């Protein structure tokens, strides 16, 4: 399935999920009202406005979890029953935890019976939807109606051989009806059937159902193949010209338009704009909610710092953000005044390899500062950085601008995403790791990023902070 059809299919699944989640909400509310006369011990049906308010919050939460766990990719590959069950169980478990937090924060009196019936109804409906979609997709492919029919135009060579080999290994492979080229080829077992030379394209399209024509070298120049391109467009068959780059090792080419100019962009581990938008919205909402909840703690820490250490309360330092843009990072002050001026005197005791500075028993850190660092409370003001958009909740830790300038080569790819408060380095050991391990974890995050990975890191951060592992 090509990228556009895949995106459309995912969008339809997400839309259907939204309808089914709303249906589950109505089913839970109705079932509670129906069961109450039969089971007197049940609490009264919740007031509709209160239930509607919680339901309004639950819908985007449920759909966000579907996207984060990639559960809307059901038509692109076959899912086993176990994968569906475990994926949906994880989603509903996380959703139930999030709902419990929402109910606690809002002090809602919504009873647990309604929540339980909603979660059960949602699980049953979403599982049923995916089981039906999976059975339908498998039936379509078995009947030969689901596979995309491709016609290749080009001479036998590495580009076509690589494409055929990779396409044959797809979980829902396309059907290659043949190839138009100058010669029949070498007769390899997997080689597409030779149907003639490119001048017979119109005849082949007239005799065969074709979903798309792919032009390979030496026929991959749209200007030289203009007549063939016009012929395809005349009968409504999409035509694609292959960019023969060879293996790209994770670099994703994308054609886009900017200022009325067609551009071919190569990007390592390109990110979905929709997923990045979800991440930005989540970051902003979560930072705002956390700041409201933590306001008493922030005020208390500020007062204690003023009493024991004096002013200023905050340590503000220029750090390297997205693509290296400098921004003022905020932390609770943990060192004596003038600590930056003393750094040069301690450079010989640096315990970290690479251009970064780490020192376990830093004499500049105060007694209160050690507690704030060990508990990670000193990082809480960075929620304001997240709220302003300079940082994310999850991402590589931002380095001081002076230290980041010393990082060169492939390590600088860590700057291709927003820096974060927590990351793989944070949950993997922090200062217990050396510089090479730190950079490797940052690049792993950049290359493997997904909403699900962010969610996993956030959940794993909690026990790491409680234990204080690797904090200095």
Mean predicted confidence (pLDDT) in 6-10:
73
| Average pLDDT of span 422-435 | 77
Q: What domains can you pick out in the chain, each with its CATH number?
A: 3-142 (no CATH), 149-247 (3.40.50.20), 273-467 (no CATH)
Nearest to 72 by CA among 148, 20, 144, 142: 20
Query: What mean pLDDT is reported for the chain?
Result: 81
Nearest-angstrom CA–CA distance, 241 and 438: 41
- For residues 403 and 291, the model is more confident at 291
Q: What pLDDT does residue 249 have?
A: 64
Which residues, 6 or more positions from 285, have their beta carbon under 8 angstroms from its beta carbon? none
CA distance 308 to 334: 11
Q: Is the pLDDT assigned to residue 43 strictly greater than 70?
A: no
> Residues 12-26: what's their mean pLDDT?
86
> Which pLDDT band, with edges at 50, 70 and 90, does 298 fall under?
very high
Higher local confidence (pLDDT), 407 or 348: 407
DSSP strand pairing (212-215 vs 149-153):
parallel
Asked if 392 contacts 453 with a C-beta cutoff of 8 angstroms, the reply is no
Between the alpha carbon of residue 356 and those of residues 327, 398, 404, 434, the distances in Å are 18, 11, 8, 10
Is the pLDDT reported for residue 218 higher than 80? yes
Bigger pLDDT: 170 or 282? 282
| Confidence band for 386, pLDDT divided at 50, 70 and 90 | very high
Per-residue pLDDT, 451 = 85
Mean pLDDT, residues 359-378 taken together: 84
User: Rounded CA gap, 71 and 66, in Å?
Assistant: 5
User: Which string of DSSP letters, residue by residue, matches 395-429?
Assistant: SPPPPBHHHHTT--GGGGGGGGS--EEE-HHHHHT
Residue 384: band (very low, low, confident or very high) from pLDDT cuts 50, 70, 90? very high
For the entire predicted model, the pTM comes to 0.61
Segment 364-381 shows an average pLDDT of 88
More confident residue, 81 or 269: 81
- pLDDT tens for 139-198 read 776 666 667 889 999 888 888 888 888 888 877 788 888 899 887 766 666 788 888 888
Which of 41-50, 71-80, 207-216, 444-453 is predicted with the least confidence, judged by mean pLDDT?
Answer: 41-50
Q: Which of 169-178, 194-203, 425-434 is least confident?
A: 425-434
Which residues lie below 8 Å from residue 392, measured CB to CB, with a gap of 6+?
279, 280, 283, 386, 417, 418, 419, 420, 421
pLDDT digits (tens, 9 = 90+) for 324-334: 889 999 999 98
Highest mean pLDDT among 121-125, 273-277, 464-468: 121-125
> How far is it, in rounded angstroms, from Cα 289 to Cα 429?
28
Q: What share of the chain is helix, strand, coil (3-state, %, to 5)?
A: 55, 15, 30
Backbone angles phi, psi at 422, to 5 degrees: -130, 160
The DSSP element (H or E) to which 291 belongs, if any, is: helix 273-309
Rounded distance, CA 452 to CA 70, Å?
A: 8
State the Cα–Cα distance between residues 205 and 343, nearest whole angstrom: 73
Q: Which residue would you say has higher pLDDT here, 47 or 85?
A: 85
Mean pLDDT check: name the lowest of 304-308, 416-420, 429-433: 429-433
pLDDT at 470 over 60: no
């Amino acid at each position: 399935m090509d990228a556009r059809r895949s995106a459309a299919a995912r969008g339809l699944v997400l839309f259907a999920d939204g309808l089914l989640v709303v249906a589950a909400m109505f089913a839970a509310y109705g079932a509670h009202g129906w069961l109450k006369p039969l089971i007197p011990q049940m609490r009264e049906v919740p007031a509709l406005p209160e239930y509607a308010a919680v339901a309004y919050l639950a819908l985007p939460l449920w759909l966000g979890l579907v996207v984060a766990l990639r559960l809307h990719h059901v038509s692109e590959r076959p899912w086993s029953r176990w994968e569906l069950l475990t994926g949906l169980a994880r989603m509903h478990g996380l959703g139930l935890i999030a709902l419990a937090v929402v109910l606690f924060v809002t002090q809602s009196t919504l009873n647990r019976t309604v929540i339980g019936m909603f979660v059960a109804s949602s699980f049953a409906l979403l599982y049923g939807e995916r089981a039906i979609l999976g059975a339908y997709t498998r039936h379509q492919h078995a009947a030969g109606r689901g596979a995309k029919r491709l016609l290749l135009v080009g001479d036998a060579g590495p580009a076509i051989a690589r494409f055929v080999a990779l396409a044959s290994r797809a979980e829902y492979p396309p059907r290659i009806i043949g190839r138009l080229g100058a010669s029949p080829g070498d007769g390899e077992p997997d080689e597409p059937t030779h149907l003639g030379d490119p001048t017979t394209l119109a005849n082949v399209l007239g005799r065969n159902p074709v979903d798309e024509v792919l032009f390979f070298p030496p026929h991959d120049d749209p200007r030289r193949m203009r007549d063939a391109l016009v012929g395809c467009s005349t009968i409504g068959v999409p035509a694609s010209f292959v960019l023969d780059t060879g293996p790209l090792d994770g670099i994703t080419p994308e054609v886009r338009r900017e200022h009325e100019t067609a551009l071919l962009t190569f990007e390592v581990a390109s990110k979905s704009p929709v997923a990045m938008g979800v991440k930005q919205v989540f970051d902003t909402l979560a930072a705002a909610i956390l700041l409201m909840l933590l306001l008493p703690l922030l005020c208390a820490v500020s007062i204690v710092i003023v009493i024991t250490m004096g002013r200023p309360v905050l340590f503000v330092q220029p750090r390297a953000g997205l693509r290296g843009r400098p921004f003022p990072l905020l932390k609770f002050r943990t060192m004596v005044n003038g600590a930056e001026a003393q750094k040069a005197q301690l450079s010989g005791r640096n315990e970290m390899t690479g251009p970064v500075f780490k020192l376990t028993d830093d004499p500049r850190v105060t007694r209160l500062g050690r507690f704030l660092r060990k508990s990670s409370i000193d990082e809480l003001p960075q929620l304001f950085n997240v709220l302003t958009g300079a940082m994310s909740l999850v991402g590589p830790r931002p380095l001081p601008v002076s230290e980041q300038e010393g990082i060169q080569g492939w390590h600088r790819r860590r700057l291709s995403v927003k820096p974060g408060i927590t990351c793989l380095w944070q949950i993997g050991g922090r200062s217990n790791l050396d510089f090479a391990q730190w950079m490797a974890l940052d690049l792993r995050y950049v290359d493997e990023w997904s909403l699900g990975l962010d969610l996993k890191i956030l959940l794993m951060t909690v026990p790491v902070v409680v234990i204080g592992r690797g904090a200095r």
